[in-house]
Chains A and B, each alone.
Chain A
Amino acid sequence: MLVLSRKNGESIKIGEDIEITIISSKNDQVKIGIRAPKNIGVYRKEVIEQIHQENILATKDFSKIIDLMKNEKK
């Protein structure tokens, strides 16, 4: 992983289109501004991981429920 030191107000460019600016930092919290093209989603990593986990949970087999629904139809 590339590690860079930045001061408040300084930026990092990733390629042509992405700019990350340190807005402020206080104690152990850093406020970051991100400028990126519209087609690039910017999300907190833990949110993506949560959706990821929930999608996996949602694939568990629910044939039993479906059988019940099918029986109700009859």
Chain B
Amino acid sequence: MQIRTKYHGEISVNRSEVFVFKQGIPAFLEEENFVFLPLSDDGIYFIMQSVKTPELAFLVISPFTFFKEYDFMIEDSIVSELSINAEEDILVYSILTVEDPFEKTTANLQAPIVVNTKNRTGKQVILHNEIFGTKHRIFQYTK
């Protein structure tokens, strides 16, 4: 299928690459379908692009690349909601809030995007853990 995107122009994606977020994500509850498009060759940055709305696109990363100490438990309710059978099937992304300069960009560690690669479902999970907030600088040691 052809989709229009914010940063990649019009592209063709396989239906099997589309992830279904049944309840949308906070602030965008009507947005149920997203694709993850690699942005850089190094595999660090991805665009989480809405299938329905070309202008809606988030810059996302794997949080583990930048935050070695990051971990969380996925609640049973989410395991069952996404029909997760094995840990290997899961991918986790964090949404970035891009700042100028880019060095000040932050990651939302409190609400990771969890996707099940087996059945292509996803959810923005809100952690009860109080250590992780919505604004963690991804380059912690630069000014």
Q: Please report A residues at the B interface, Cβ cutoff 8 Å.
A: 38-41, 43, 47-48, 50-66, 68-69, 72-73
Q: Does any Cβ of A come within 8 Å of B56's Cβ? A: yes
10 A-B pairs with CB atoms under 8 Å apart are A47-B110, A47-B126, A48-B126, A51-B124, A51-B134, A55-B95, A55-B111, A57-B97, A60-B98, A69-B39
Contacts A39-B77, A51-B134, A59-B56 given; does A73 touch B41 at CB 8 Å: yes
A66 x B135 contact (CB < 8 A): no
A54–B111 touching, CB < 8 Å: yes
Closest to A47 in B: B126
Number of residues of chain B lying within 8 A (CB) of chain A: 33
Interface of B is mostly: loop
Q: Determine the chain A residues whose CB is within 8 A of the CB of B126 once the complex forms.
A: 41, 43, 47-48, 51
Residue of A nearest to B41 (CB): A73
Q: Are A54 and B135 in contact (CB under 8 A)?
A: yes
